[in-house]
Amino acid sequence: MITDLVAKAAREAPLPAYVYDLDHLDAHMAAIAAAVRTGPGRVEIHYAAKANPDPGVLATVARHVDGIEVASGGELAHVRDVLGPDVPIAFGGPGKTDEELAAAARQADRVHVESRLEVRRLAAAARAAGTRVKALLRVNVPGGVGGVLRMGGGPSPFGMDPAEADACLAELPPEIELLGVHAHLASGLDAQACAAQGRTVLDWAAAFAARHGVGLAEVVIGGGMHVDYTRPAERFDWAAYRAALRLPDHGPLVRIEPGRALTAYSGWYVTDVLDLKRSAGEWFAICRGGTHHLRTPVAKGHDQPFTVLPTGTGPTIAGPVTVVGQLCTPKDVLARRVPVERIGVGDRVAFALAGAYALNISHRDFLMHPPPALVRVGGGADQV
Ligand SMILES: Cc1ncc(COP(=O)(O)O)c(C=O)c1O
């Protein structure tokens, strides 16, 4: 549902534009943080900055989380730049370069290590920096529960197999302080499935610690909370998720690492209709911009939900319409055969759920159209 604040910004913005509603994000984050912090045990939230590293989004999210997860040297530098030296940062991701490991040793609070070789390379980086590094072993824990975007629980370039984790413990270099275990097995899970996956990781980590006679201070059970693009009013049930984790009072610190379900609902991609065309019996609305700004529907294979703002004075139609962009490819489709009461030339169209994995995953240089404007509305916007 488009709010008055976003609708006003959408009517006034230079087009195309991303509109970030930071008031909405602030309230959404407050509710999530309250749900996650209620119950037995300790749960921390690290925001996966890859979902949306916009400075206004980062600053707003940061008020409600315990730290930020970054997955590249670029994200590390950006997050430090935007949020300053004090925000706790966890550095993860596969294929870290020597430069990234060196930066992580100096500027990150903990590193999620992806392989046995990477443990050795991180130790060398720590030695060169004259420091010890806090690390968690990212493990491809067996027995994940599915999900839309699977990253573990089977053959995977992410993390290490359990036997490799055993080997890492046997040869842990003195420069590495082992904090715990990290896993992120899949994305797109509802509350019960996501909690079941978290429990699988927690149980595995407890058995791993017992087998080696070590204490684990932290277990990261990943992100992956579902965003339902077909039902934009639905929300991940954070309270049910928290309860279903069934945490003991005195276990290790549990950390979750969500991205999509935090920021998706607070971002809008706004454009306008340049042309309306009937082709072989079907209506097409051709919009300024397209999937080079909002790649999400192509990447995930859904129709991006949208609201039509009747701002145009050109011809209009009603009925099923396929909304496309300006690119010379049949893949440039934002939504297919969606019934509408009205869409017309000059009308503005505001695509919802564009606050995560949207602009930053898009191939924005293709065809050299101008980039979208960035408009931040809401209380936090003036702090950026
Ligand atoms: C290691 C890791 N943590 C967290 C996330 C965030 O996942 P999501 O945005 O589905 O919550 C990702 C996403 O790819 C990831 O790779």
- C-alpha of 247 from chain center: 24
Torsion, Cα 334 336 338 344, to 10 degrees, reads: 60
Residue 357 Cα: closest atom of ligand 1:
9
Answer yes or no: is pLDDT of 147 > 90.
no
d(CA 282, CA 277): 8
Q: Report how far ligand 1's centroid is from the alpha carbon of 70 (Å).
A: 10
Residue with tokens 């996966």: 48
Q: How far is the CA of 8 from the centre of ligand 1 (A)?
A: 32
Q: Give the mutation target among 69, 262, 353 for probing the ligand 1 site: most ligand atoms within 8 A of CB.
A: 69
Residue 86: HSE in the Cβ half-sphere, 13 Å Cα cutoff? 3
* Residue 152 pLDDT greater than 80, yes or no: no
Share of the chain above pLDDT 70, in %: 96
- pLDDT (tens digit, 9 = 90+) per residue, 272-283? 999 999 999 999
pLDDT at 156: 86
Q: State the Cα–Cα distance between residues 192 and 237, nearest whole angstrom.
A: 9
The protein residue whose alpha carbon is closest to atom 10 in ligand 1 is 224
Question: What is the model's pLDDT at position 149?
Answer: 66
* Atom from ligand 1 closest to the CA of residue 262: 11
pLDDT (mean) for 149-160: 80
Mean pLDDT, rounded, for 31-54: 97
Q: Give the mean pLDDT of 274-299.
A: 98
pLDDT in tens, 225-242: 999 999 999 999 999 999
150-159, 192-201, 339-348: least confidently modelled range: 150-159
Substitution site in 257, 263, 265, 361 for ligand 1 pocket (most atoms within 8 Å of beta carbon):
257
pLDDT at residue 381, as a whole number: 47
- Whether the pLDDT of residue 380 is over 90: the answer is no
CA of 209 to the centre of ligand 1 (A): 24
Residue 143: what pLDDT?
80
Cβ contact 182:220 at 8 Å: yes
Per-residue pLDDT of 305-337, as tens digits, reads 999 999 999 999 999 999 999 999 999 999 999
The predicted pLDDT at position 353 comes to 98
State the closest ligand 1 atom to the C-alpha of 260, by its place in the atom list counted from 1: 9
Q: List pocket residues of ligand 1, CB cut-off 6 Å.
A: 48, 51, 69, 92, 184, 187, 222-225, 257-261
Phi first, then psi: give them for residue 149, nearest 5 degrees: -120, 90
* Average pLDDT, integer, range 170-174: 96
Kindly give the distance from the C-alpha atom of residue 189 to the centroid of ligand 1, in angstroms, as a whole number.
Answer: 12
Q: For residue 92, give the ligand 1 atom closest to its CA.
A: 1
Give me the pLDDT at residue 300, please: 95
User: Which residue owns the Cα nearest ligand 1 atom 1?
Assistant: 184
- Nearest-angstrom CA–CA distance, 157 and 154: 10
- Tell me the mean pLDDT in the region 271-299: 98
Ligand 1 mutation target, pool 137, 156, 187, most atoms within 8 A of CB: 187
Residue 150 has pLDDT above 80, yes or no: no
pLDDT at 44 over 50: yes
- Tell me the CA–centroid distance for residue 300 and ligand 1, in Å: 15
What are the b/e assignments for 3-29, b being 16+ CB within 10 Å? eeebbebbeebebbbbbbbbbbbbebb
Residue 121 CA to ligand 1 center (angstroms) comes to 24
Tell me what pLDDT residue 145 has: 63
Provide the mean pLDDT of the chain. Answer: 95
Q: Indicate which residues carry an active-site annotation.
A: 328
Give tens-digit pLDDT for 340-363. 999 999 999 999 999 999 999 999
Q: Which atom of ligand 1 is nearest to the CA of 259?
A: 9
Q: Sketch out the chain's domains with CATH numbers.
A: 22-264 (3.20.20.10), 265-383 (2.40.37.10)
